[in-house]
């Protein structure tokens, strides 16, 4: 796979129709047409349905409609696309981050920290493995929403370049979202990209978006607006190297293992 010093990210924040896979995928297909060129398109948590515990209605197999849609989008637009989907597998349900490029599933990650405040832990099974993968020479670490609150789980022991967090983070706690994204970038000396939804869901929770990218020094990047729902940002490996050559904080981390 080719190495790219700079990659183009497109962040999509929109208001999904509650538990309506078909309408949401159709709508996303239309707005993605406004993207002329991208390396990675990033969608929110459960982008095809909204964040729901109604697993009997929304959960799909890995060979289901949504993953196939991601494969088709990647091929038609020559782009990588990622986000989380409710997945049913071996009689269990997972909130799964899926990264697709060139018509293939490159990586998956099952949400580790299930949001017990909403009962997510009752309906979904937690993942047990942190994931990093390489795309275009960038080491990427995927996380999902509530994972953001746990710095040890996000801890950059893998020397990753880009932390991706896809979320349904409500308006009432949006200040925490903003602060935690920035904190994760500073402590891990990496880019952090958070993509959140808009609108109101079927539980009456409101969302403001606040999708954003922070540099390895914790500076907020102002993306270019493609349309009302899509933001574009270019990020560079040179910025990571510059920061890590000045600050050697990752080398001074405490060493420990999960029990």
Judged on CB neighbours under 10 Å (0-12, 13-18, 19+), 87 is buried
CB 206 within 8 A of CB 195: no
What does the pLDDT profile of the chain (259 residues) look like in tens digits?
A: 589 999 999 999 999 999 999 999 999 999 999 999 999 999 999 999 999 999 999 999 999 999 999 999 999 999 999 999 999 999 999 999 999 999 999 999 999 999 999 999 999 999 999 999 999 999 999 999 999 999 999 999 999 999 999 999 999 999 999 999 999 999 999 999 999 999 999 999 999 999 999 999 999 998 899 999 999 999 999 999 999 999 999 999 888 776 6
CB 213 within 8 A of CB 42: no
Residue 45: active-site member: yes
Within-domain flag for 253 = no
Catalytic residue among 45, 120, 182, 190: 45
Residue 187: active-site member: no
Task: Of 164, 162, 156, 111, give the one whose Cα is nearest residue 136.
Answer: 162
Catalytic residue among 141, 145, 190, 243: 145
Per the structure block, which two tokens stand in for 61? 């197999």
How far is the C-alpha of 67 from the C-alpha of 248, rounded, in Å? 40
Per the structure block, which two tokens stand in for 50? 């909204």
Q: What is the CATH number of the domain that holds 219?
A: 3.60.110.10
Within-domain flag for 258 = no
Question: How many structural domains compose the chain?
Answer: 1
Residue 171: active-site member: no
Neighbours of 65 (CB within 10 A): 14
Within-domain flag for 254 = no
Which domain, by its residues, includes 220? 7-247
Within-domain flag for 220 = yes
Which residue do the tokens 């981390």 mark?
253
Catalytic residue among 111, 190, 193, 243: 111
Within-domain flag for 1 = no
């Amino acid at each position: 796979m080719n190495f790219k010093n700079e990659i183009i990210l497109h962040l999509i924040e929109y208001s999904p129709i509650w538990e309506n896979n078909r309408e949401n995928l159709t709508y996303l297909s239309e707005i993605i047409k406004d993207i002329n060129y991208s390396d990675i398109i990033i969608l929110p948590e459960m982008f095809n349905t909204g964040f729901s515990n109604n697993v009997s209605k929304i959960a799909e197999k890995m060979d289901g409609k949504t993953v196939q849609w991601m494969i088709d989008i990647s091929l038609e637009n020559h782009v990588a696309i990622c986000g989380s989907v409710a997945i049913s597998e071996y009689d269990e349900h997972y909130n799964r981050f899926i990264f697709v490029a060139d018509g293939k599933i490159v990586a998956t990650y099952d949400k580790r920290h299930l949001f017990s405040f909403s009962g997510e832990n009752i309906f979904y099974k937690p993942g047990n493995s942190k994931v990093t993968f390489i795309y275009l020479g960038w080491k990427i670490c995927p996380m999902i929403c509530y994972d953001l609150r746990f710095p040890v789980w996000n801890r950059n022991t893998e020397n990753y370049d880009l932390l991706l967090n896809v979320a349904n983070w409500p308006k009432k706690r949006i200040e925490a979202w903003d602060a935690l994204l920035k904190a994760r970038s500073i402590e891990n000396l990496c880019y952090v990209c958070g993509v959140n939804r808009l609108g109101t869901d079927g539980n009456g929770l409101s969302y403001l978006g606040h999708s954003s990218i922070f540099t390895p020094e914790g500076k907020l990047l102002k993306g270019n607006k493609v349309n009302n729902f899509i933001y574009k940002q270019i990020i560079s490996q040179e910025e990571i190297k510059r920061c890590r050559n000045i600050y050697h904080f990752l080398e001074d981390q405490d060493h420990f293992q999960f029990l």
